[in-house]
Amino acid sequence: MEVLGSDGSSVTVLSEVVSRWERDFKGVFSNDISDFDEKFYKEICLRKYVIENQILKGEYWVNEDLNKDLSYNEIQLAITRESNWNSKYTK
């Protein structure tokens, strides 16, 4: 398992991957959308435009493995490992 680090490099350390997933999933399910104003929207649109142009020009490296869908087995394995970790360390 891997995620992209803040510098764009691949991160494969399990604790960092799980930490990133936890942070991202908490953000998905939080109801705090106070930061999503017009300024934020314009900034995101600009960044999207710049990245798309870099991809078209071949200036942006895309890791296709990170863009693949997770398989059922990968999700089940992650859940099992997390459950086992929680049962060991949260008592």
Task: Kindly report the pTM of this predicted structure.
Answer: 0.34
DSSP 8-state symbol, 51: H
Do residues 16 and 2 make contact, with C-beta atoms less than 8 angstroms apart? no
pLDDT for 42 beyond 70: yes
pLDDT tens column, 60-79: 776 777 778 888 898 888 88
Q: What is the model's pLDDT at position 30?
A: 66
More confident call, 89 vs 51: 51
Do residues 21 and 1 make contact, with C-beta atoms less than 8 angstroms apart? no
Give the mean model confidence (pLDDT) for residues 32-58: 82
